[in-house]
Chain A
Amino acid sequence: MSTANKKNMSFLIDMTKCTGCRGCQVACKQWNQMEAEKTEFFSGEGYENPPAMSEYTLTRIKFRDFEKNGQNEFAFYKEMCMHCNEPACASVCPVGAFKKTKEGPVVYDDKLCIGCRFCMVACPFNVPKYEWSKALPLVKKCTGCHDRVIEGIKPACATTCPTAISYGPRDEMLRKAERRLAAHPDRYVNHVYGKEEAGGTNVLYLTSLPFDELGFKRVTMRPLPGYTWQALRLVPGIFLTVGGGLSALSWINHRKDRIRAEQQNKTTQEPDTTESSAAEEEGK
């Protein structure tokens, strides 16, 4: 979007530097005081656990453990909210419970939420999760540690990460990403995921493996709110057109009626309206 977003605090997550230590995953649980999940063995490749982001797990390391051209690939991908520049979640929420803060994180106000879960459907990255265990559930999602960020400290996961996560204004993070791409063209897939995805996000990724091999979603490069807005913006117009059109139509028809009624004494009533006879003709 505009200049305002350049300074949004952003994550630059360099998966080529991630060791899959999962410090971030645990730090997130600690800072947000999330419950642990009951897991069994591993729920994906490598040591992946829990099985997915959920009401208890706001960020997670996905493991990839496979062989490619005779070479082992043991790769990691940190899933979390992307803190979109123009968040779909915020645009669809009927009560505006999701908001893009001026600092960057997209936050959720659990006092407003009515629980329609449109945010979950809308999010291109499938981020918002639901408290399925509760009778009156709320949405859970990475907060971007907004509570820390406004105090001038980095998010818990970024603070804990020994290697992979940088945090700072978006333009700086983008420059850093591009510097790395330029300095190590052999190390990286030449693309900053999140630079354009979903219209740009405050979480940027660099990887060595093709993004879909790591489990990144293929998403549109357009900001998502535009997709619905292009239809919704027509609402007032349609309302006025349909309302006005129908009013006019019925006024005319009623007027015809009245005139006809006035002539009623003279002539016998015709059973068919012009329209219906036309339709009948077409039917033949």
Chain B
Amino acid sequence: MTNHWIDIQHADVILAIGSNPAENHPISFKYVEKAMDRGAKLISVDPRFTRTSSKADTYCQLRPGTDIAFMGGLINYLLENDHIQREYVVSYTNAPFLVDDAYDFNEGIFTGYDEGSFSYDKKDWRYQQDDAGMPLRDETLTHPRSVYQLMKKHYERYTPEMVCDITGSAIQDYMEVARQLASTATRDRVATIMYAMGTTQHTTGTQNVRSYAMLQLLLGNVGLAGGGINALRGESNVQGSTDYAILYHILPGYLKVPTYQNESLAAYNEKWTPKTNDPKSANWWSNTPKYITSLLKAYWGEKATAENDYCYDYLPKRSGNYSFIPLMQRLQDGGFEGMMLLGTNPVVGGPDSGAIVEGLGKLKWLIAADLWETETSIFWKRPGVDPKTIDTEVFLLPAAASVEKEGSISNSGRWSQWRYKAVEPPGDAMSDAYMVSELFHRLKALYEKDGGAFPAPILDLAWDYGTGHEPDIDLVARECNGRFTRDAVVKGKSFRAGDQVPNFTFLQNDGSTMSGNWLYCGSYTEGGNLAMRRNAEDPTGMGMHHKWSWCWPLNRRVLYNRASVDMDGKPWNPKKPVISWNGATRKWEGDIPDGGWPPMNEGDKTKNPFIMIAEGYGRLFASGLADGPFPEHYEPMESPTHNLMSPQQCNPAVVTPGKLGDADKYPYVGTTYRLSEHWQAGAMTRNLPWLAELVPDMFVEIGERLAKWKEIEHGDLVTISSERGRIQARALVTTRIRPLRINGKLVEQVGVPWHFGYAGLVTGDSANVLTTAVGCANTTIPEYKAFLCNIEKGGKDA
């Protein structure tokens, strides 16, 4: 989230697209409704009429996987009718930038495409520069090579009629959405976008998000209270775990994982530290060397010295894509001896799960740390399988639940809140920290005893978390913030060895500081663990509550907040200030500003507001993505129609997977989603009688017309099939799921919740048996939300 939950109340228009906040983020709705009580309009854009839609002023249906078409049309509408906040666009975005003449877009393909490798050479997607290396700009936005004009041209093709033909939206609903959003192009109105998995779980997921961001930039809505672009994060601490490197390609604080080409720390820094020639660009990532050095110091402590590159060599270097889908592919290919799963249940949650469960049988051993027996840990005795035929040895480590241990949890708004242990874990259950720590100690003992090919990274690891039964979480939190490793003077302040670093602006690349996660530097200062704060006071009156917990970065509640003010530092909308410049004190008031530099009109003393971006401007044209600088509509991997926008059917930067079905055999668009009543792969809710009673059976939602056609009655058992497999479910026949008119043809939808599996108190078939193991070009998040399927009356065995 650029903003935070409480801030949603300040929006004038709320666009819930690709998310279902009423069901999946119920608390967020408190603030949605606060805004609505003030007169805000809620728009729900979803293939299904959800509990969010039921509260919306405007509901617009769209076909799964067509968000870019939808957004492209909106962008076109804004540009055609000049509903943009021009001053914002000119001053804060890269709309005026001139793009290299070599850049082009043709027949659905951007310049630089290589068909063989499904990838782009992105070198031509760059700005024109002057001799000093400064990008060329045309603030009139009229230059034909300006981002603005290129964008306009790109989205001209997305006429409302064309868009609705692709998305299946009713054109009057669509135009209403356009009008509502356009109304926020003024200074005093703001829209927020709440998105989640309906957006991201597509082969075009990242570009879907980009298209939302572009819309918000054009409307001048980023950085403002009630604005921004807000990812409603999923698992309760998924924000924290991504901050702390749960993904294969990032280190804590979103530092890049080195690849095998980054042979030394210098090479790493050279490769991953972005550069700019613009003195007005803060280019925050230029601090990368400080952060990586401090991280290495946290990992290997005393052992990490300038001489040995701070043990940079100890860091594993990646040589490929280790994301979920390729890992599971390798599993199925017999590429792993063992697997350790902590708090995850891929047999229910993974795409094409039938193949995953087959793959598990190829392991010698499997360790699952979980609160429950899950489909994954009992895969060897799943229905229809003879346990004798499976040789895998399975270890189930009972894990302590969140309330049975202490630690921090970071919510979508980036607030890190400390939680205390409420009860002792039952039986033998242990915290994950204990398991990992124990694993470390035993591995270390083995390496000490038996040696090994490369024992140093383990033997030298600084593991200073006390001598208790469990690692001392307080010490972990202190280390994440970081401390001085020796006496030092930074920015005129002197520190002693062991002092907590006040915040990341004090971190150094000379080994004098260490920090487990630079983003969290500032969370645990000499003043204590700020995540523990529970002071509800709100002097800003804007619901920022700076003394409630702590949020990264630097307790800044709204990211890019320096874009919320005009050139003089006055809020675009003085009624809802995030920050404002006090000319007398020459200080910002309100939120912690994105850097304390004075307003834009102060010439070279200032910096551009988008400090995390090398050029300092919000990107309407983004050159770093795998699949193009502008989001372009491609059909999902499995689609009931050909691409109306271009001859390029699917995202060209995604490798075509096997096991694809076609619309003749599987005529219906399938999509998967969540329910308020269940949690994820279901172990945590299908085992709780109170929740099981609410939704006890796997079901499928279909429209009345399809039901009639297939002679399916409400409650009937039906079989849904895709190229990957077949599942059975009870039919919920409802008008909330309607067929879509796509390119003149009615296409039916089939909606399946993905919470069921064969383990637990209530069981049912898993939706993921149907889904495709193909991911987003940039993140490889699986395309869970759009696939083709068929549905027939009667159970699987009928």
Contact = CB atoms under 8 A, between A and B. Distances in A.
Whether chain A touches chain B in the assembled complex (some CB pair under 8 Å): yes
Interface of A: 16-17, 19-23, 25-26, 29-30, 35-42, 46-47, 49-50, 65-67, 72-75, 162-163, 180, 183-184
Given A23-B26, A47-B675, 5 more contacts: A16-B55, A22-B677, A25-B694, A49-B696, A65-B736
B617 interface: no
A161 B167 CA distance: 35
Given A22-B676, A47-B695, A162-B26, A72 B53 contact: yes
17 contacts: A17-B33, A19-B52, A21-B23, A23-B26, A39-B693, A39-B696, A42-B732, A49-B695, A65-B735, A65-B736, A162-B26, A162-B30, A163-B26, A163-B30, A163-B33, A183-B37, A184-B37
Chain A to chain B: the 7 pairs with minimum beta-carbon distance, closest first: A36-B689, A74-B54, A19-B22, A67-B735, A36-B693, A72-B49, A21-B26
Contacts of A41: 696-697, 699, 715, 730, 732
Nearest to A57: B693
A72 B51 CA distance: 11
B29 interface: yes
A21 B23 CA distance: 6
B734 interface: yes
A56 to B, nearest CB: 9
Interface string B24-63: 0011011001000100000000000111111100010000
A211 to B, nearest CB: 17
Given A20-B51, A47-B675, A163-B30, A74 B736 contact: yes
A75 B33 contact: no
B690 interface: yes
B29 A49 contact: no
Contacts of A37: 693
Nearest to B38: A183
Contacts of B30: 162-163
Interface residues of B, number: 35
B644 interface: no
Interface in B645-698: 675-677, 689-697
Nearest to A30: B690
A66 B30 CA distance: 25
A72 B693 contact: no
A19 B55 contact: yes
B27 A162 contact: yes
A162 B8 CA distance: 14
Contacts of B675: 47
Given A39-B696, A41-B699, A47-B675, A26 B691 contact: yes
Nearest to B734: A65
Given A47-B677, A65-B734, A74-B736, A26 B54 contact: no
A21 B22 contact: yes
A178 to B, nearest CB: 15
A23 B27 CA distance: 11
A164 to B, nearest CB: 9
Q: Is the interface of A mostly helix, strand, loop or mixed?
A: loop
Contacts of B59: 72
Residue picked from A17, A19, A21, A25, most chain B C-beta under 10 Å: A19
Nearest to A71: B59
Contact of A75 (B54, B692, B695, B735): B54
Contacts of A42: 695, 699, 715, 732
Contacts of B692: 36
Residue picked from B26, B30, B675, B689, most chain A C-beta under 10 Å: B26
B690 A40 contact: no
Contacts of A39: 693-694, 696
Given A40-B697, A47-B675, A19 B26 contact: yes
Contacts of B676: 19-23
A9 B516 CA distance: 51
A19 B696 contact: no
A19 B735 contact: no
Given A75-B54, A162-B27, A49 B49 contact: no
B411 to A, nearest CB: 15
Contacts of B677: 22, 47
Contacts of B697: 40-41
A23 B55 CA distance: 17
A184 B55 CA distance: 14
Interface in B6-30: 22-23, 26-27, 29-30
Residue picked from A29, A163, A183, most chain B C-beta under 10 Å: A163
Contact of B693 (A38, A73, A163): A38
A122 B715 CA distance: 35
Contacts of B29: 19, 162-163
B690 A26 contact: yes
Nearest to B50: A74
A22 B694 contact: yes
A66 B694 contact: no
Contacts of A72: 49, 53-54, 59, 735-736
Contacts of B37: 180, 183-184
Nearest to A180: B37
B323 to A, nearest CB: 32
A162 B27 CA distance: 5
Contacts of A66: 735
A66 to B, nearest CB: 7
A38 B676 CA distance: 19
A172 to B, nearest CB: 17
Contacts of B734: 46, 65
Nearest to A164: B33
A46 B677 CA distance: 13
A273 B736 CA distance: 80
Contacts of B52: 19
Contacts of B732: 41-42
Nearest to A45: B734
Residue picked from A30, A41, A162, A184, most chain B C-beta under 10 Å: A41
Contacts of B730: 41
Contacts of B23: 19, 21
A184 B40 CA distance: 12
A271 to B, nearest CB: 76
Contacts of B26: 19, 21, 23, 162-163
